Amino acid sequence: MLDLKFLRENPETVKENIRRKFQDKKLPLVDEVIELDAAYREAKQKGDEIRASRNRISKQIGALMAKGQREQAEEAKRLVTENAEKLAELEAKCAELEEAIRSRMLVIPNIIDPTVPIGKDDSENVELERFGEPVTPDFEVPYHTDIMEKLSGIDLDSARRVAGNGFYYLMGDIARLHSAVLSYARDFMIGLGFTYCVPPFMIRSDVVTGVMSFAEMDAMMYKIEGEDLYLIGTSEHSMIGKFIDRILPEKELPYTLTSYSPCFRKEKGAHGIEERGVYRIHQFEKQEMIVVCRPEESPLWFEKLWRNTVDFFRTLDIPVRTLECCSGDLADLKVKSIDVEAWSPRQQKYFEVGSCSNLGDAQARRLKIRVSGADGSKYFAHTLNNTVVAPPRMLIAFLENNLCADGSVRIPEALRPYMGGAERISATEK
């Protein structure tokens, strides 16, 4: 959410930012906010004047009674009552105007970084850099669920009967591989100095609206019926929520956290062959990284975070590339975002396995996460998040890039301690 003062003083800058994000239908909101804000400030000023008048007259009543000036005292009481009624009306009006302003401010997009490429949608995202040489084996790479099934590692039919489409049973060595990747990711991040955390897997509505846009919320979140609780779509939600309505000592920044959680997503509109299997699902597990820092430090942390994911995937011998999200592909709260994509030998292209985002002070402003500076000043923190790894989707890249001609799967050296020392996964007799 933008600073209201900034919008009031820079309406054309805000409008141009909306145009750069190709959200022209939101342009009228800027003028509406300015008009509502003017009405709010006028009502508040009148309220302050009436409140001061009421307090002044109230103080006079005792003195008038002491002097025996009963008629004047009764008139003063009448004025106090009249002022109280006017004040109640103005306070109600201010509350109504405040809510009208907030509802509009929540959907006006954050100001994007000037380095963000301008484009309408993800088809105009810009490749930045490749890491590792994409390899195409001299044998056919099967679809990922076929690889898993040959290794007795997945049961989609049973999952459909139990929970419907978009769910899965992972079995045997594939299930162990799934857990091994998460354990390795945890230790990888701890080795980089991040504090490990397992957060709540449900959050309240005030946290939901604090960490994401309404469009994301509708497309992603599952609500618990009869409760003010939502299942998290990523641990970022509850990790940033951890700091809600807090004043953080500047000397303690930055907070660098890595969190594990299951994630739950509606995933509306999934379709096509690549959406089958475990690519786009309603339930998965993820290792995330979160940073809460001073505003001037967030660009540096942004660079560090996406590089962490690249380094992690390279230790597993998976070629990756980075892709900068264009303006039209940025969620409303984001200032800048880079996707990490892994190479798929079967598809002969890259696909997303992680996303790194700098949200500026947008989440902090919504959740009232402030920093107490050494000089006594208070300001909003900056928040960032990035995926370390999100299996089972990541397993697609892992299996395809480590598949051998005989159908077995090689285990990279970094992962072997988490797989009992095994060097490969092979099909077993049923």
More confident residue, 218 or 174: 174
Measured distance CA(30)–CA(105) in Å, rounded: 8
Catalytic annotation on 365? Answer: no
For the entire predicted model, the pTM comes to 0.89
Set 280, 314, 416, 424: catalytic member? 280
How far apart are the C-alpha atoms of 294 and 250, rounded to whole Å? 8
What is the pLDDT, as a whole number, of residue 275? Answer: 52
Strand partners, 336: 358
Asked if 392 contacts 170 with a C-beta cutoff of 8 angstroms, the reply is yes
355 noted as active-site residue: yes
The reported pLDDT for the residue numbered 259 is 97
Residue 321 known to be catalytic: no
Q: Residue 185 in contact with residue 312, Cβ under 8 Å?
A: yes
Of the residues 42, 96, 124, 352, only one is catalytic, namely 352
Q: Which member of 20, 321, 370, 393 is catalytic?
A: 393
Catalytic residue among 104, 355, 366, 400: 355
* Phi and psi, residue 321, nearest 5°: -140, 160
Task: Give the long-range contacts of residues 96-99, CB within 8 A, separation 24 or more.
Answer: 97/36, 97/39, 97/40, 97/43, 98/40
* Confidence at 88, pLDDT banded by 50, 70, 90: confident
For the chain, give the secondary structure using H, E and C.
CCCHHHHHHCHHHHHHHHHHCCCHHHHHHHHHHHHHHHHHHHHHHHHHHHHHHHHHHHHHHHHHHHCCCHHHHHHHHHHHHHHHHHHHHHHHHHHHHHHHHHHHHCCCCCCCCCCCCCCCCHHHCEEEEEECCCCCCCCCCCCHHHHHHHCCCEEHHHHHHHHCCCCCEECHHHHHHHHHHHHHHHHHHHHCCCEEECCCCEECHHHHHHHCCHHHHHHHCEECCCCCCEECCCHHHHHHHCCCCCEEEHHHCCEEEEEEEEEECCCCCCCCHHHCCCCCCCEEEEEEEEEEECHHHHHHHHHHHHHHHHHHHHHCCCCEEEEECCHHHCCCCCCEEEEEEEEECCCCEEEEEEEEEECCCHHHHHHCCEEECCCCCEEECEEEEEEEECCCHHHHHHHHHHECCCCCEECCHHHHHHHCCCCEECCCCC
Question: Annotated catalytic residue: which of 265, 365, 366, 370?
Answer: 265
- Ordered domains of the chain (ranges, CATH): 4-105 (1.10.287.40), 122-425 (3.30.930.10)
> What pLDDT does residue 430 have?
47
What's the alpha-carbon Rg for the chain, to the nearest Å?
A: 28
Mean pLDDT of 302-317: 97
**31-49, pLDDT tens digit by residue?**
999 999 999 999 999 888 8
Is residue 235 within 8 A of residue 199, CB to CB? The reply is yes
**Tens digits of residue pLDDT in 260-298:** 999 999 876 544 444 568 888 899 999 999 999 999 999
Q: Is pLDDT above 60 for 121?
A: yes
How does the average pLDDT of the chain come out, rounded? 92
Q: What is the pLDDT of residue 200?
A: 96
| Letter string b/e over residues 17-33, b meaning 16 or more CB atoms within 10 A of that residue's CB | bbebbebeebeebbeeb
191-246 pLDDT, tens digit each: 999 999 999 999 999 999 999 877 777 778 999 999 999 999 999 999 999 999 99
Residue 125, judged by CB atoms within 10 A of its CB (0-12, 13-18, 19+), counts as buried
- Determine what percent of the chain is predicted with pLDDT higher than 90: 80
Q: Which of 206, 213, 212 is nearest to 236 (CA)?
A: 212
Is 280 one of the annotated active-site residues of the chain?
yes
Highest mean pLDDT among 41-55, 62-76, 243-257: 243-257
Q: What is the pLDDT of residue 219?
A: 79
Q: Tell me whether residue 51 is one of the annotated catalytic residues.
A: no
How far apart CA 28 and CA 5 sit, in angstroms, is 18
Residue 66 has pLDDT above 80, yes or no: no
Q: What pLDDT is stored for residue 269 in this prediction? A: 54
Measure Cα distances from 243 to 167, 246, 290, 346 in Å. Answer: 32, 6, 12, 43
